[in-house]
Structures are given as structure tokens and as C-alpha cells.
Amino acid sequence: MEYLDYYKILGVAKNASPEQIKKQYRRLARQYHPDVSQEKDAEAKFKEVREAYEVLKDPAKKQAYDQMGSQPPGWEFQKTRGDGMENQFEGAGFSEFFESLFGQQMHGRRHQTAFKQRGQDQHSKITLSVEEAFSGTQRRIQFQEPALDPNTGQVTLKTRSLNVKIPAGVTAGQQIRLAGQGAQGMGGGSNGDLYLEIQLEAHPFFTVKNHDVYLNCPVTPWEAALGAKITVPTLAGSVELKIPAGSQTGKKLRLKNRGFPGTPSGDQYVLLSIYIPEPKTEGQRALYQTMAQEMHDYNPRQIFLRR
């Protein structure tokens, strides 16, 4: 069954007032009325315009139509017999889409159709610090959702608050499903769900990739050359790390299970960067001169000479 965009047919915005909808309907009805219009397919267009107006002028029907959205999430209709008179309003010119959506509740018809539709799922984003994502936290979030004003028939946005528990170990791009916290269902249909997409703030020295954590760690030349035990931070607290002798910049050391919690837990990787201290005294400059003399045969650019 083809979905009909009643707003597009009438040429009005979703937040158009009842007066705007009525004015636009009258204009199009005059334009396409079969008795006066010379346009091609005027009768078919006139029926579409009349059907769109029948829905958008009625606050209850407009709300039901708006909640279905442009891609219905799964809707069903249950027809019930009132007096044994089936199809008594057939031929009125309404589409199959209209009849399926609203049945025979209009124009005083005895035949009734009970409309039942699940509410739409809603999506939002929530930004956490790396520490909050690692340990879990609670947040009170506010978001806006469309609501129909029964007095004016206009769709407005209302603010809703919700307390959310964020589990430990959520990662960027992960979605948290809050069942039944989406749009309200119609005709006894269940509410939709709310999906929160996790975003992580940039951290001054930790980088998170899936459940693994990366840390760029500066070390001194003598720590890298001779080997050392140093203290490095992790999200669960500081730990001692052994640097092998002869380490170079870019060497990656693994701290097992020190990443984000999960099944399995992630690891933390420490990437070494050798920092050269600037000589500020004569003794320090002499030390560098001694190193240059003692290691004169070491050339890290030797690989360039082979080409």
C-alpha cells in the first residue's frame, strides 16, 4: 500500500496552523475542481486534496497520522462489525491508505475501525567523559518531542526529562536502548523505544578505540637505553610498568585487562616517546659531547645510505 504524504499534497508545513491548512485547501480545491479545472488529472488531484484536508483539519486524525511518520514502524488495524452493514461508505473517493488508517469512523458511519499503532522509536545522543564511560554513571537528560495541542491542532515541541543509568564500559557509537521511552503509542499500541548514542569527549592523554585504551608516554633517553620501571596512569589507577633496555620511540607495551570493562575486557597500550632534555649547563653539554665521542659509530640514518 502506497504511503500518502498529506502535507506534500496540500503544500503546507507540518507546523501549519488550522487557518493555513484551511486556506490552502480552499485554494487547491478551486484549482482542481472537476467542474471548472482544465488541468490534466484534475479529478484525481481534487480527491487527493480533499482526503488530505479531511485528515489534517481534524486534531485527532492529524496526531495519528503524524505519529505514524513517513515510514510506518509497524501498524495494524482491527475491523469490527457494528450492524452487519459492511462497506456502506465505499465509493466516497478515499484511498485505500486512508481507509486502512482511519477505517469507517468518519461521517457518522456505524461501521467502526479500531486504530492501533506502536509509537515511533526516538534517537538522541549523549556525551560522556572517558572516565564516565569507563566507570559508568547516571545522567538526567532532557530532550524535545513533538506533541499535538488539542486546542489549536498545531504540533509543538515539549521538553521531557529522564534519569538514565549508563553502564560501565560503554564505547563511542554504542547505543543504549531504553524500552518504552520513545513516542507514545496510539489506540492501545505500545510506546516506542528511545536509543541513546554514546559520544566520548576528547581526553588530554588517553585515546579509546573500541575497548582498548592508548597512552602516549614520554621517557628519558637513559630510561629507554638502560631499561627502567616507571609509574603510568590507567583509568583504574596508576600501575608500574617495566621498560625494556634498548627501547625506541614508538615501542608499544601492553597492560592486559587495563582497558574498558567488557566481555572480554580491553587492554591498555603504552606507546613510548623518547624526550631529549635540553642541556642548560656546561656539565650537561659536556655529557652530550662525551656521548657523541663514545658513540660516534652509531648512525640512525644509516638506512638512508643503503639506497
pLDDT value for 208: 97
- Contact in structure between 135 and 97 (CB atoms under 8 Å): no
Listed residues 132, 165, 200: the one ending a domain: 200
Among 75, 95, 117, the domain boundary falls at 117
Residues 172 and 235 placed together within one structural domain of the fold: no
Q: Give whole-number Cα distances, 267 to 40, 230, 240, in Å.
A: 69, 18, 15
Amino acid 148: pLDDT: 61
Same domain flag for 153 and 187 = yes
The domain total for the chain is 3
What's the rounded Cα separation, in Å, for the pair 140 and 202?
Answer: 21
The CATH number that applies at residue 219 is 2.60.260.20
Percent of the chain with pLDDT over 90: 45
CA dihedral 259, 263, 264, 267 (to 10 degrees): 0
pLDDT value of residue 283: 96
Q: What distance in Å separates the CA atoms of residue 83 and residue 88, rounded to the nearest whole number?
A: 11
* pLDDT value at residue 154: 62
Residues 112 and 177 in one domain: no
At 39-95, the pLDDT tens digits run 888 888 888 888 889 888 888 788 778 776 554 444 444 433 333 333 333 335 677
Confirm whether 76 is domain-assigned: yes
* Largest pairwise CA distance in the chain: 109
Residue 111 and residue 153 in one domain: no
| CATH number where 55 lies | 1.10.287.110
Q: For residue 26, give its domain range.
A: 6-117
Distance CA(166)–CA(136), nearest Å, equals 5
Q: Can you tell me the distance from the alpha carbon of 113 to that of 77, in angstroms, rounded to the nearest whole number?
A: 7
> Which three cell numbers, joined as nine digits, stand for 69?
511518520
Last residue within a domain, chosen from 80, 102, 117: 117
Q: What pLDDT is recorded for position 220?
A: 96
Question: What confidence tens digit (pLDDT) does each residue in 142-160 have?
Answer: 877 766 666 665 666 778 8
CA distance 228 to 221: 11
Enumerate residue ranges in the chain where pLDDT < 70.
1, 68-93, 100-116, 146-156, 186-187, 306-307
293 domain-assigned:
no
Q: Are residues 105 and 141 in the same domain?
A: no
Residue 64 maps to a domain: yes
